[in-house]
Amino acid sequence: MILRPLNRYLESWLMKWRMGRGSFSSWLFILVLFAPREILTANHKHELQFIAVGTSQGLLELSAIAFIDDIQWASYGKPLQQIKVKHAWISEALGRQFLKEMQYQMTDQEEGYHRFIQHLTRNDRSKNHRTLQFYLNCELNEDIPLKYHVKYGFDGEDFIETNEKGKWKVLHHWAIGSEIFFESPAVFEQFNKIYCIGVMQKILQKSSLKENRPPDMYVSHQEFPNGTITFSCTATGFYPQAIQMSWKKADNGTIVGKEDSSGILPNSDDTFYLQISLEVQPGELRTGYACVVDHSQLEAPAVLPVHEKPTKGNIWVVVLSILIAAILLISCFVIFRKWRKT
């Protein structure tokens, strides 16, 4: 019974939507799902985070943030009760009337979150502030929908989410015995089809969220006292988020070593960063390694060879060669001066 109120909102909204009306839950989903993203040959994720803070007496705070590949495009806050869209062209793509209606519904139905918190705290006699979290994301590859994921949490703990088959998976004892009230996969599938995928594709026909940028790339290496050496390959400043990086050898030999990755991280300018590394143990061959970077904004995959650091013996050879060249140069200069005087 914990999650029955929200389930009712979802089911009733589908009926009202067909009659030209709306409901609380529908607009929660629309806020996260109405986001532009580029249709590329890579996965892109659209996600929404809702946080509601309240007591049994009332809702104190409600905030929402929508992201496309970790780039924020819209937000909502209870104090101002206003949806803020990051770019004007997104408002144009959605339409003023639609935004006005969505604004009204979000403001009018905040009570739904309060009822949800009340139901979850029905046995709590204290007046402590309680926090309800709601998270949803969906993914798209070109025109092919991949998956969507819904998760609920309460006071910082996950308690139920959808699994790969769109069914509910209990994560906390609060939800034991209540999953039956969430069995509405058709509702979520309908939202995913119409609002996450369909509307997203329409907006993409208008514009993109950010200008595409190729990555800045470089490789480096570091030696350690124990004899190991670590090769690092860095790509930064790229957009969109999708990128592939890997190690290869010039002779197409087997890569021997411990590989690691930072994961794709956001930069402050809404571009992305990724670093991969390869740790080679003493005794292993350390030559011929290269980093391969593939991104949609590169004409072809970039191959960045790792330049071997000169050994101590090689350094003495270089120094001696420079010294000999300097002596020869000075000797030639002295001979030339004498010849001119003669």
Residue 239, SS3? strand
Q: Say what the pLDDT of residue 194 is.
A: 66
* Alpha carbon distance 175, 173 (integer Å): 5
pLDDT of residue 39: 34
Residue range 4-204, CATH number? 3.30.500.10
Q: What is the mean pLDDT of residues 264-287?
A: 88
Q: What average pLDDT does range 24-34 have in this prediction?
A: 37
φ/ψ (deg, to 5) at 81:
50, 50
- The letter for the amino acid at 174 is W
pLDDT at 16 over 60: no
The pLDDT of residue 35 is: 37
pTM of the predicted model, to two decimals? 0.62
The pLDDT value given to residue 291: 94
pLDDT at position 65 is 87
Q: How far is CA 7 from CA 119, 180, 187, in A?
A: 13, 10, 9
Please give the residue that has the higher pLDDT: either 190 or 264.
264
| Helix spans in the chain (H) | 4-18, 24-33, 88-94, 96-108, 111-120, 185-191, 199-204, 312-341
**Residue pLDDT, tens place only, 40-72:** 345 677 888 889 998 878 888 888 888 877 778
Cα separation, 221 vs 331, whole angstroms: 40
Supply the pLDDT for residue 317.
52
Give the mean model confidence (pLDDT) for residues 299-316: 71
Question: Domain limits of the chain?
Answer: 4-204, 216-309, 318-342
CB 256 within 8 A of CB 284: yes
pLDDT tens-digit series, residues 70-99: 778 788 888 788 888 888 888 888 778 777
Q: What is the pLDDT of residues 197-210, one digit of tens each?
A: 776 776 677 777 77
Per-residue pLDDT band for 215 (boundaries 50, 70, 90) equals very high
Percent of the chain with pLDDT over 70: 75
> May I ask the CATH class of domain 216-309?
mainly beta
